[in-house]
Amino acid sequence: MYSIAASSFFNPKLPKNLPFHNPNRPLFAIVRSSSVAQEIDKSSEERTESLGLKGLEFPAIKGAKRVVLVRHGQSTWNAEGRIQGSSDFSVLTSKGESQAETSRQMLIDDSFDICFSSPLRRSKRTAEIIWGAREEEIITDSDMREIDLYSFQGLLKHEGKAKYGESFRQWQIDAPNFIIDGHYPVRELWARAKSCWDKILVHESKSVLVVAHNAVNQALVATAIGLGTEYFRILLQSNCGVSVLDFTPQPEGGTPNICLNRLNQTPGSPVAGGSSAGRKTSKRIVFVCHGVSESDLESSMPYTGNGPLNMLGNIQAQKIAELLLDLKVNTVVSGTKMASVETADTITKVQEAADCLGADCIPRYVETKQIPDLDVESILTQSKKDASGLQNVSSGWLNRLEDDVTTSLWDQSGKSWKHLLYELSKGSDQDNVVIAVGHPALHIAMMGHCLNLTKEWLGSFHLNAGSISVIDFPDGPSGRGVIRCINYTAHLGRWSIPITRSTQADEEY
Active-site positions? Answer: 72, 146
Length of the chain counted residue by residue = 509
- Of the candidates 120, 70, 75, 71, the residue with the CA atom closest to the CA atom of residue 93: 75
71-107: b (≥16 Cβ within 10 Å) or e: bbbbbebbeeebbbbbbbebebbeebbbbbbbbbebb
* Whether 27 contacts 14, CB under 8 Å: yes
Residue 218 annotated as part of some ligand binding site: no
State which amino acid sits at residue 486.
I
Q: How many Å apart are CA 434 and CA 33, to the nearest integer? A: 46
* Whether 509 contacts 248, CB under 8 Å: yes
- Helix (H) or strand (E) run with residue 199 in it: helix 185-202
Q: How many Å apart are CA 439 and CA 482, to the nearest integer? A: 21
* Whether 416 contacts 279, CB under 8 Å: no
Residue 400 annotated as part of some ligand binding site: no
List the alpha helices (DSSP H) in 47-109: 76-80, 94-107
* Whether 181 contacts 204, CB under 8 Å: no
Cβ-in-10-Å burial (0-12, 13-18, 19+) of 345 comes to middle
**Coil vs helix vs strand at 343:** helix
State the pairing for strand pair 2-4/138-141. Answer: parallel
Residue 397 annotated as part of some ligand binding site: no
The 10 Å Cβ neighbour count of residue 130 is: 29
Q: How many Å apart are CA 372 and CA 388, to the nearest integer? A: 25
Residue 3 annotated as part of some ligand binding site: no
The pair phi, psi for residue 65, each rounded to 5°, is: -135, 135
Residue 71 annotated as part of some ligand binding site: yes
Residue 157 annotated as part of some ligand binding site: yes
- Helix (H) or strand (E) run with residue 245 in it: strand 242-248
Residue 72 annotated as part of some ligand binding site: yes
Residue 228 annotated as part of some ligand binding site: no
* Whether 397 contacts 302, CB under 8 Å: yes
What is the DSSP-derived secondary structure letter of residue 20? Answer: T
Q: Which residues are annotated as a binding site for substrate?
A: 71-78, 122, 157
| Annotated binding-site members | 71-78, 122, 157
